[in-house]
Amino acid sequence: MPDLVAEIKTLEGQATQRIAASTSVEALQMVAHEFVGKKGALTAVMKQLGSLTPEERSLVGKAANDFKTQLETLLADKEAQLQDARYESLKESEFIDLSVNPKPHAALGVKVPFGGHIHPIAAMQKKLEDIFTSMGFSIVDGVQVEDDYHNFGALNFTEDHPARDMQDTFYVQAHGGAGVPADTMSSVPGPEAHGGAGVPAGTRQPYLLRTHTSTVQIRALEKMQPPLRIIAPGRVFRYEEVDASHEHTFYQMEGMLIDRKVSVGNLLHLMQTLLTEVFGREVEVRLRPGYFPFVEPGFELDMKCLVCAGKGCSVCKHSGWVEVLPCGLVHPNVLQSAGLNPDEWQGAAFGLGLNRLVMMRHGIEDIRHFMAGKLDFLRQF
C-alpha cells in the first residue's frame, strides 16, 4: 500500500518552498492551482484512496485537510506580504508632491492652475479666534438649524415682541426627526411657540435657520458653569432681500463673558483691545445706545474711521466714525432663563459681523461677493 500520508507531507514541503519563492500574486495562484486545483498533485494522491482501509482513509483524509488549511494560510500571508511590498514601492514611484508649484505646460497650452488658499472670512475668523483664545476665551459650537427657544425665547424676545421682525427668519419644515414626536413641531411660528429644554409636552416647537450666533449664549450656559468666556463663530441666515449690504447667508462671531462683576468699562476695554489687534493699529471707539432684547444696556460700538482718521470721508459717510459691532450687558432675563441668579452673576456680550469686518479691512463694497463663488474675487486675497 502506498504511504499516502508521507506523499502528502512531501507535497506540503514542496508547496511551502514554492510559496516562499513566489514573487507575485500570479505565481501564488499557480502554486494553488498545481497543488490543490482540480488536476493538482493532491487530487492525484486522493484518487488512490479507494485501495485503503477505512482507518487509513481517515488518516489520509485528515492529512489532506491539514495540508489544505496550511496551504491557505501560507498563501494568504504571502499575498499580504506581496501587497504591502507593492504599496511601498508605489508610494515611492507614484509620489506626487502637491506643494510644488506647477509649471505651465507650454506645449499643451495649459495655464498654470491657481493654488488654493484660505477664504478671507475664514482667515478673519482664525485671526479673531487666536486673539480671543489668547485672552482666555474658549470656542464653542452651536447648531445651524435651531429651535425658537434658543434663537428667540431664551434671549428675551417674547412671543409677539416686535424685535422678532428685526431678524427675518427662515422657518424649517420639520419631518419628525429622530426622537422628536411630530406633534411637538410646526413649520409655522405660532404665538403658542416657546420652549426648548423643559418645554411642556405637546407644545409646538418651530425650527428655523438660526438668525444669529447669539443662540450659542444659551447653549453655552446650558452646558458650562460661570465664570466663563466664550466665542461662537458660525454661519447665520436671514430671509433678506439681497443687495450690496444684505445677504441671506453670512458669518458672525458671538462673544460672551459671565463673571461676578462685569461692567460697561470691561466691555469697552475688551472691544478696543480686540479692534486694535484686528486692524494692527491703535483704534478709538465710542458707544451709542442700541436696542437688542437680550442686553441691557445695549450699544452700537463705533470705531474712529481708519481711512480719514476721523476727519470725514466717503467710507465713514463724512461722520468720522464707522459702526462696527453691537454689544451690551447680558439682560437679567437671559441669565435667569439659563438658571443663573442675576444678583450673583453679570455678563457682557457682543456680536461681530465677520463679513462686515472683512469688508472694512479690504475695502469691499458689496457683500454678495462672498457667496458668489467667483474666483476672480477670491484670488485677490
Name the site residues for ligand DAH (rule: CB under 6 A): 212, 214, 254, 292, 295, 298, 326-328, 349-351
Q: Is 40 helix (H, G, I), strand (E, B) or coil?
A: coil
Decide whether 60 or 325 has the Cβ nearer to ligand DAH. 325
Residue 191 preceded by cis peptide, ω within 30: no
Minimum separation from the CB atom of position 350 to ligand DAH (A): 5
Decide whether 233 or 326 has the Cβ nearer to ligand DAH. 326
Minimum separation from the CB atom of position 363 to ligand DAH (A): 23
Minimum separation from the CB atom of position 191 to ligand DAH (A): 23
Contact at 8 Å (CB) between 340 and 312? Answer: no
Supply the DSSP symbol for 14. H
Decide whether 11 or 330 has the Cβ nearer to ligand DAH. 330
Minimum separation from the CB atom of position 212 to ligand DAH (A): 3
Q: Which long-range contacts (CB under 8 A, 24 or more apart) does 54-57 make?
A: 56/1, 56/4
Decide whether 205 or 215 has the Cβ nearer to ligand DAH. 215
Q: Which long-range contacts (CB under 8 A, 24 or more apart) does 73-82 make?
A: 74/15, 74/16, 74/19, 75/19, 75/28, 75/31, 75/32, 78/19, 78/20, 78/22, 78/28, 79/25, 79/28, 82/22, 82/23, 82/24, 82/25, 82/28
Decide whether 297 or 320 has the Cβ nearer to ligand DAH. 297
Decide whether 169 or 205 has the Cβ nearer to ligand DAH. 169
Decide whether 35 or 292 has the Cβ nearer to ligand DAH. 292
Chain position whose Cβ is nearest to ligand DAH:
351
Q: What whole-number distance in Å separates Cα of residue 280 and Cα of residue 342?
A: 37
Cα angle, residue 41 at apex, residues 38 and 42 outer, rounded to 5°: 80
Segment (H or E) for 66 = helix 54-93
Minimum separation from the CB atom of position 84 to ligand DAH (A): 55
Minimum separation from the CB atom of position 353 to ligand DAH (A): 8
Decide whether 295 or 367 has the Cβ nearer to ligand DAH. 295
Supply the DSSP symbol for 110. B
Contact at 8 Å (CB) between 263 and 271? Answer: no
Q: Which of 291, 254, 249, 289 is nearest to 162 (CA)?
A: 291
Minimum separation from the CB atom of position 111 to ligand DAH (A): 42
Q: What are phi and psi of 371, to 5 degrees?
A: -95, 0
| 130, amino acid identity | D
Residue 297 preceded by cis peptide, ω within 30: yes
Decide whether 120 or 351 has the Cβ nearer to ligand DAH. 351
Minimum separation from the CB atom of position 115 to ligand DAH (A): 35
Please compute, for residue 149, the number of CA atoms within 13 A of its CA located in the half-sphere on the CB side: 16
Minimum separation from the CB atom of position 298 to ligand DAH (A): 6
Q: What whole-number distance in Å separates Cα of residue 350 and Cα of residue 329?
A: 9
